Amino acid sequence: MRRSLHPSAFVSPGAVLGEGVSIGPCVVVEEDVVIGDNCQIHAFASIKRYTRMGTGNIVHSYAAVGGIPQDLKFAGEVSFLEIGNNNTIREFATMHRGTDGGGGSTRIGDNNLFMAYTHVAHDCRIGNGVIMSNNATLAGHVLLQDGAILGGLSAVHQFSRIGRYAFVGGMTGVAQDLPPYMLAVGDRSGIHGPNIVGLRRLNVPVTTVAAVRAAFRVIWLSGVPRKEALARVEEEYGHIPQIQELIAFVRESPRGVLAAAARHSGNGAAD
């Protein structure tokens, strides 16, 4: 399939474009950029130096992809933004490349949706099937695991982790780690309970949903010391993969996990 380049676009001779790439009006593609097959770059978008992009990605108008980090320690070193396949990057979204302090790259997986005005800062790690709603923002070095959803106007503190299929509500500030399958809402968020909707979308058995509910009650609501609570959950439900993942995430948290919200549903549910 042939490439399509609008005559008003500027594409550096040092950029590498795959087959079937479409470049719209007034797009800027800088040198040292690689754009994979069948990507679409819409009008007025910019793809900055040292961006590596896989196949089937769509970058909408006025998005700025691969800009230099907003990090005062950045000294102009060569670093990268690495984007996988089949991602949709909507209008005015921004994504920055990495720094030496974060391993030299920002990495984004496959099949993610970045809605308008979202921001991915330097050295973030984003998995697959993630949704960042309008104006959601990641600070530097954030880990966003597979299937996580961030509501509009939410913000995640630097070095924090959002676990698999966790849900962050709109206008929520996340200052510590949010474990997998959990739901956080609030100005300075707390965990309201399991992300029941997300678990149902995964088609997990009802017994697994019940185990996640029970784990939430023991770990966050029982008042038992964290180490003992994790041991109790592991003893009773450790044979369930989702519980194993939840326990490992909490134990390995370098910043500590969020506490339970001041108000929750009482039974650990988040229906």
Which two tokens mark 86? Answer: 């089949």
Does residue 263 register a pLDDT over 90?
A: no
Residue 57 lies inside a defined structural domain of this protein: yes
Residue 18 lies inside a defined structural domain of this protein: yes
Q: What is the mean pLDDT of residues 168-174?
A: 97
Whether residue 122 lies in the annotated active site: yes
Whether residue 271 lies in the annotated active site: no
CB atoms within 10 A of CB 211: 22
3-state secondary structure 66-79: EECCCCCCCCCCCC
pLDDT digits (tens, 9 = 90+) for 99-135: 999 999 999 999 999 999 999 999 999 999 999 999 9
Residue 188 lies inside a defined structural domain of this protein: no
Does residue 155 register a pLDDT over 50?
A: yes
Which candidate in 71, 110, 123, 177 is catalytic?
123
Q: Report how far residue 184's alpha carbon sits from residue 16's, in angstroms, rounded to the nearest whole number.
A: 41
Residue 119 lies inside a defined structural domain of this protein: yes
Strand pairing partners for 23? Answer: 5, 41
pLDDT digits (tens, 9 = 90+) for 32-80: 999 999 999 999 999 999 999 999 999 999 999 999 999 999 999 999 9
Please state the domain count of the chain. Answer: 1
Residue 264 lies inside a defined structural domain of this protein: no
Residue 74 lies inside a defined structural domain of this protein: yes
Residue 103 lies inside a defined structural domain of this protein: yes
Residue 62 lies inside a defined structural domain of this protein: yes
Which candidate in 122, 141, 192, 264 is catalytic?
122
CATH number at residue 111: 2.160.10.10
> What is the domain extent for residue 126?
4-141
Q: Report how far residue 179's alpha carbon sits from residue 96's, in angstroms, rounded to the nearest whole number.
A: 25
CB contact at 8 A, 9 and 28: yes
CB contact at 8 A, 203 and 219: no
